[in-house]
Amino acid sequence: MSRFRSSAVLAFGAVLLAGCGERPADGAPRAASGGATPVVSSADRAEARQLFDTLCSTCHGNNGHGDGPASAGLEPKPRSFADRQWQASVDDAHIRTVITLGGAAVGKSPNMPPQPQLKSRPGVVQGLAEIIRAQGR
């Protein structure tokens, strides 16, 4: 095999190995970046529930109807996650974007604050998306 071809094979192998990240402490494989749905562990779901109950419900309400205690002073009113038409119009990637980047990032109200601290926690963000989806059923 030529020196160039050997180098190309080694470089390709290194690229493949670089894409195989470590597993989180719970042993679940990491999700691919981009449009792939992140893997959600039970710890991620528990943290997502806690975050929803302490942050999201303030405006969106405990059941996601947009009727949280802070919603009275907001215009526009917070999204009701029970709205089936809205649920059908968005995918989980959109929901994850709104959670991490805020409403203004998708042309919606800047009253929906970004949660940039969650960018490195894709399982937790997907856990929040699951909670939002469940409220539309």
Which residue, among 110, 128, 114, has the nearest Cα to 51 in the 3D structure?
128
Domains contained in the chain, CATH given? 40-134 (1.10.760.10)
Cα–Cα dist 9/12, whole Å: 5
Cα–Cα dist 33/82, whole Å: 28
Cα–Cα dist 99/23, whole Å: 24
Cα–Cα dist 27/51, whole Å: 23
pTM metric for this prediction: 0.74
Instruction: From first to last of the 137 residues of the chain, give the pLDDT tens digit.
Output: 444 343 333 333 333 333 333 333 333 333 333 479 999 999 999 999 999 999 999 999 999 999 999 999 999 999 999 999 999 999 999 999 999 999 999 999 999 999 999 999 999 999 999 999 999 98
Cis peptide before 110 (omega within 30 of 0): no
Cα–Cα dist 79/68, whole Å: 11
3-state secondary structure of 55: helix
